[in-house]
Amino acid sequence: MNDRDLALLENTISTLDSLSRGQIPTLPQGACVVTGTSFDIPMLMQVDKLPKEQEPDSSDVNLVELWGGDDG
């Protein structure tokens, strides 16, 4: 995540504090900052990986083909 992305988050999510914003670039895979009007303070959460049989079938999407990319 680059500084521009972080600035966009800071400008669009009024409940995101500077401490939580600073942790975003170093979050491990599956971790997130949860914030909003339902939370008194931003919270760090770890989301468990789904079992293989419950994962969405999205590994076969060819984005170059889907978006009409140049193949040469």
pLDDT on residue 62: 80
pTM over 0.75: no
DSSP state of 47: P
DSSP string, 10-31: HHH-TT--HHHHHHGGGPPTTE
The amino acid occupying position 36 is: G
Q: Cα–Cα distance between 37 and 12 in angstroms, integer?
A: 14
CA–CA distances in Å: residue 45 to residues 5, 27, 29, 60, 64: 20, 10, 11, 28, 33
Query: 7-45 pLDDT, tens per residue?
Result: 888 888 888 888 888 888 889 989 988 988 888 888 999
pLDDT confidence band for 71 (50 / 70 / 90): low
